[in-house]
Amino acid sequence: MPKHAFSHVDTWVFDLDNTLYPPSARLFDQIEVRMTRWVMDTLGVDHARANYLRKHYWHTYGTTLAGLMREHSVDPAPYLHDVHDISFDVLTPDPVLADRIRALPGRRIIYTNGTAPYAERVAAARGLDGLFDAIYGVEHAQFLPKPERAAFEHVFTTDKLDATKAVMFEDDARNLAAPHAMGMGTVHVAPEPQTGDHIHFHTDDLSAFLGRITG
């Protein structure tokens, strides 16, 4: 990975879940349990049907919430509050990652399909609080989810970033297609690489990757 590939970057955009903490933390397992329970209670279906709908809406619409809103006119606020009411005890501070994010030149932001308050709690649990110039959640995208381009456009317009001078770090490869089309650099952060023109770089270790940029 040549360092000069990032010499033009003045805005560093980070996804949250399974990007700023390792997938091995399995934090999202807690959220999935709460999602399934919420679908059961709200739609009056059994566990098997609720679990199917949770996954089906994620695959079809980008998030379970997007499917619930489009197919059932669900109010997003109570849903988002409930499913993100989890324990963060599985997360540990990562001072090396914090130092490497701090060393990045330019602005640093988080953009997640979760909520901004949830992202703030995750960042604090990882020892990354105070490092980001802005934190954007799905509420800042008018509840449109990644990978929809309109979601990115809402957030990036609010932030006033220049996509051609920005790079996005994201664990879900499909969420890099729109940023790529908008002129952003893309880094897929995941245990296994995926191929595609919309993926410029892959890493299974975000901290090490940033270390090669800032070192």
Query: At 37, which CATH number?
Result: 1.10.150.450
Q: How do residues 122-138 score in pLDDT, each as one tens digit?
A: 999 999 999 999 999 99
* Per-residue model confidence (pLDDT) at position 112: 97
What's the mean per-residue pLDDT of the chain? 95
* Per-residue model confidence (pLDDT) at position 63: 87
Do 61 and 132 sit in the same domain of this protein? Answer: no
Q: How do residues 161-215 score in pLDDT, each as one tens digit?
A: 999 999 999 999 999 999 999 999 999 999 999 989 999 999 999 999 999 999 8
Residue 98 pLDDT more than 90? Answer: yes
Q: Which domain holds residue 165?
A: 3-21+93-214
Q: Is the whole model's pTM more than 0.85, yes or no? A: yes
Mean pLDDT of 74-86: 92
Do 138 and 205 sit in the same domain of this protein? Answer: yes
% the chain with pLDDT above 70:
99
Do 60 and 118 sit in the same domain of this protein? Answer: no
Do 157 and 63 sit in the same domain of this protein? Answer: no
Do 100 and 166 sit in the same domain of this protein? Answer: yes
Inside any domain, residue 182: yes
Do 97 and 199 sit in the same domain of this protein? Answer: yes
Do 113 and 173 sit in the same domain of this protein? Answer: yes
Do 79 and 179 sit in the same domain of this protein? Answer: no
Q: How do residues 141-161 score in pLDDT, each as one tens digit?
A: 999 999 999 999 999 999 999
What type of residue sits at position 180? Answer: H
Do 198 and 154 sit in the same domain of this protein? Answer: yes
Do 133 and 193 sit in the same domain of this protein? Answer: yes
Inside any domain, residue 44: yes
Contacts of 112 (CB under 8 A, 6+ apart): 15, 16, 17, 118, 119, 135, 136, 137, 138
Q: Residue 2 region, left (φ>0) first, then alpha (ψ -120 to 50), else beta?
A: beta
Q: In 3D, which of 215, 162, 174 has the Cα closest to residue 198?
A: 174
Mean pLDDT of 103-115: 97
Inside any domain, residue 88: no
